[in-house]
Structure 1
């Protein structure tokens, strides 16, 4: 008993944390769900006897009580036992990537935890933490830490700093986390855990949440108040527009002759796609999308004009250049969306930004509307009752999009031999996949092709991680998406040979969890995106092909490296179907749909494309001084393009 008379239970810090997490719920629109329904991890000496023991104990207790859901890979939704299902990843970064993809698929209403051992195990998670925070996705990271007592000092894998004994490698998580704490005494867990849950459930502040756990503290016993373990429901807010701010936004939009909506990921996370469609239908305002926002409005809606920015299409980018008012909804305006501050070219352009994050709402000197996307769209539509763009402008958007769709059809059906362009693979997938299926990608030349070509029918269909554009994301992300979707639809990850080599080992985790995923593995023997960028910037594709060292030149420009990625995928336990050409690819995709477990469709594509025609710029500086003629020419072109760059003031 404590001095206040409340009941206590004696548990270790790790046991208390597991029990606490099992009792946390999120709620939005009246629906409750487990906030942290499972945990990824890899055990080492830093956490195997702390968090590892706590997870084992919870699982054994769940089995004895008949509760839990550990026989399936789908995280539990409401276990009476207090179990926190455990999933063994093969790489700590892969585990965080999977957790981020899970959170994205659940519209940020749930977050998986990830535990790692001290030192390299924990620092492996830093890249994943940066990905989650950059993408505004909730993940809970539990890195093990040095001894709080400092008796074993330095402990194995400890970084020593001669300035202070109070720094460990886990301090590196601070700049990439939205919340960070270190538990040096058991009682510190109570306020820290509560603060962590608040950030995980906050749509504006969310990202990586890091609670560092010294390995001795994990195993330390403490008398915890039972109230700490009661069920808690964290309500995910839908902030409504402030009336005066709404009036200001309405005044700007009503004055527009050529308004354009830029729909970002916030529309999808809010579940506001229907509200966006209704707003566009009522006002006639064209709607462009970002990578995160693709599918927020169905591609065949009369007002939909597709991707905008550096990797956007000519229809959306033409309208962006002419727009006098840009209505950004749930977008953070990355450099790809603004084409490095060149695409919104109207000298009198003004911005109205709807966002739950004031930091993003204020960008480009905008008229700010800090609110939930769905609430804001409903309020804007009501306030604009009777407003509609001129029919000539609405028809111009329709005509521009129709012209672009002809380009899409050309890119999808090139019938190129002997090796197809990757756009033909995308076209086949776009035609074969259903509305409940999900396509996943993150890095290389593929996100650019997909943004301007993919015809997304639903908000769930298009899963691109392009805020951090992290190579190696796709394979673990497919695991996270499948865990979030259960058995619904197909999960298809498109993986280039470059990104495949980063994190292929999570295929083994997917096999172990008996998850159905289809991987489309494109082999073109090089980095297609960076190779093309290198060539356009005068660097002649240097260092971007997978080649043997040439004994004559001393460079990596010899014959192809004789690796076999199809055999490698099979070695992890996946079923592999090799595709020779597009007809066989289509046949094998249909076969893969009916197969159990992970299936890899392996196909070779042309390194040189062709890719879709570009219609915007991206700022990648070129050497101002060079002895190479190719670089000199690129530098001149760069300065000409850069002249259009501007601040939006």
Structure 2
């Protein structure tokens, strides 16, 4: 047997460089490259291998470990999970900085490969710098923290262990149902240890991602649900995008006259002006979609994991005897809400169900006029909010309207947390698939800038906009510098509303007067953060990094800044001053936020009682 003597780190990179996937006969190189920040735990192992023998893998220097994993996650999302980046760090704090982003990838069913350095396998220099010592179990290291947030975890303590671990890693990374973060912890001495690897370990591997077809029996069970269904409603989730099923979704809805609503991950599967697209569903949903959900007798969830936002904490579907049909490649998601599971690839499942319902002559009972009225109600509401003026300054909804109407319809917007996801879900008018990139599975503050960089890596020919609040930007903006370093332009649209206003509003809606969420100076009079707003010059900060920057306080200034930003060839930031509290609020939807049963405040007690009443109305599943 022919062998090649390599270090474990060199062998890992050589293996990753030869991995391909095949979807519908189209072959794609799976691992684009490695993002990393070097330290003593990886610089002379993985770092040496990247320097001397990277093959075709590109290396991108991250500026914050969490930020670079967000970028890798966004890259995978924007490529429909067809390509990934690996991310490497040192041990200790460098590794642990990636844990939050690992959870973000796993919750969102997105593949990312994490390669943190780890303690010496030999233990000769223990405790090494940054080593976590767990006195009762010396096999525990900081990298064990990745276990609950990884779909696969392994520690490569001997170089020959790499072979089985690498194959298992690829199994998970390429599995549409089970994918997420994969962590291979790499002890720093084992990275540099050599082994005679079989040459065929480095042969080109093509991982065929076959579309899972539905069984005939499952199609018949699903079709039987339509026998009595007069008012079905489709909920389009992220699985529609990952299965490239947007066209099939539109054909299905049109053939049977079924309206559709969108989750955050599913948004842009149908264009906003499609006659059957009723907009967002759930807590951040449209009035039209939420009313249709309340009256629906059959919910058809396609590629959704049914988060509490989608189901309005299980209060959205209130029709007596409502049934749920779940088309999902993931069996766990297909079993949710006590539904009937149609476990299959979304595109295959839609096509098979379409054929079966057509053979049975099925049609929903909605009239064209009724659906047109529902859509018109919401379109007019969006028009109103996009045009709404505030005497105090630029409102958040007005700013979003200007942006939506000014940037190209092919542009990609990226967002993740705060009040902006709710407004975007309700109001943003997407015309093309994959132009709405929202991380709302984990709602991870700090994803936006790194995510926009990842999207720009994936789609260099499109304009990419990070829509981010000031609170999220302050948490993590480091990959703005990386975008400049890599000459991958993105535009950061920073909404400055003086703090964590989303949670500030949530507080005040549940009995609080508002506490600890605005960026104010501490007041000598109250001893609390109730002084003046802190003046922060975000545009100057961006310029100091080398980005172009503009400021906007009016709709006209914002429109002009967007036009100027489009002309820039480097990453750009627009600082947009918006009036706090000028976003949208719930449209007949509820989100469960538990309120104290006992308090010195009557407002809190009243909020608790209101919460209890809503809990009694919610479903158990």
Matched residue, 2:603? 630
Q: For 1:643, what is the secondary structure of its paired residue?
A: helix
Q: How does 1:193-272 map to 2 (within 5 A)?
A: 193-272=166-245
Q: For 1:127, what is the secondary structure of its paired residue?
A: helix
Matched residue, 2:307? 334
Q: How does 1:504-583 map to 2 (within 5 A)?
A: 504-583=477-556
Equivalent residue in structure 2 for 1:452, among 420, 423, 426 = 426
1:589 CA displacement: 0.5
CA distance in 1, matches of 2:555, 2:285: 26
CA distance in 1, matches of 2:365, 2:297: 14
CA distance in 1, matches of 2:303, 2:237: 5
CA distance in 1, matches of 2:123, 2:369: 71
TM score, norm. by length of structure 2: 0.98
TM score, norm. by length of structure 1: 0.94
Q: For 2:53, what is the secondary structure of its paired residue?
A: helix
CA distance in 1, matches of 2:210, 2:583: 45
Contact persistence 1:504–1:569 (CA under 8 A): no
Mapped pair 1:40 → 2:43: no
1:612 CA displacement: 4.7
Q: How does 1:304-453 map to 2 (within 5 A)?
A: 304-385=277-358, 386-392=361-367, 394-453=368-427
1:637 CA displacement: 1.9
CA distance in 2, matches of 1:305, 1:608: 25
1:418 CA displacement: 3.8
Equivalent residue in structure 1 for 2:272, among 294, 299, 304 = 299
CA distance in 2, matches of 1:371, 1:503: 38
Q: Could you give the per-residue CA deviations for residues 97-130 of structure 1, whole angstroms, max 9, x where no partner exists?
A: 0011000001011111000001000000000000
1:340 CA displacement: 0.2
CA distance in 1, matches of 2:581, 2:214: 48
1:237 CA displacement: 2.2
1:7 CA displacement: 1.0
Q: For 2:51, what is the secondary structure of its paired residue?
A: helix
Contact persistence 1:537–1:622 (CA under 8 A): yes
Q: For 1:38, what is the secondary structure of its paired residue?
A: strand
Q: 1:595 to 1:482 in 2, by over 3 A?
A: same
State the aligned residue count: 619
Q: Could you give the per-residue CA deviations for residues 257-296 of structure 1, whole angstroms, max 9, x where no partner exists?
A: 1100000000011000000000011011010110000011
Matched residue, 1:117? 90
Contact persistence 1:507–1:573 (CA under 8 A): no
Matched residue, 2:8? 13
| Structure 1 unaligned residues grouped into runs of 5+ | 1-5, 60-81
Mapped pair 1:182 → 2:155: yes
Matched residue, 1:68? none
Contact persistence 2:448–2:466 (CA under 8 A): yes
CA distance in 1, matches of 2:143, 2:100: 13
CA distance in 2, matches of 1:611, 1:286: 23
Contact persistence 1:19–1:83 (CA under 8 A): no
Q: For 1:387, what is the secondary structure of its paired residue?
A: coil
After TM superposition, which residue ranges in structure 1, 4 or more long, deviate above 3 angstroms? Answer: none
Mapped pair 1:595 → 2:568: yes
Q: Could you give the per-residue CA deviations for residues 380-409 of structure 1, whole angstroms, max 9, x where no partner exists?
A: 1100112111242x4322211211111101
CA distance in 1, matches of 2:172, 2:286: 36
Q: For 2:160, what is the secondary structure of its paired residue?
A: helix
1:641 CA displacement: 2.0
1:189 CA displacement: 0.2
Matched residue, 1:88? 61
Equivalent residue in structure 2 for 1:611, among 563, 567, 584 = 584
CA distance in 1, matches of 2:433, 2:111: 19
Mapped pair 1:144 → 2:139: no
1:645 CA displacement: 1.1
Matched residue, 2:615? 642
Q: For 2:484, what is the secondary structure of its paired residue?
A: helix
Contact persistence 1:268–1:293 (CA under 8 A): yes
1:449 CA displacement: 0.8
CA distance in 2, matches of 1:642, 1:151: 57
Q: Please say which of residues 238-247 and 381-390 is displaced more in the overlay.
A: 381-390
Matched residue, 2:465? 492
Q: For 2:550, what is the secondary structure of its paired residue?
A: strand
Q: Could you give the per-residue CA deviations for residues 206-261 of structure 1, whole angstroms, max 9, x where no partner exists?
A: 00000000000001111111101000001112100111011000110232011000
CA distance in 2, matches of 1:308, 1:534: 23
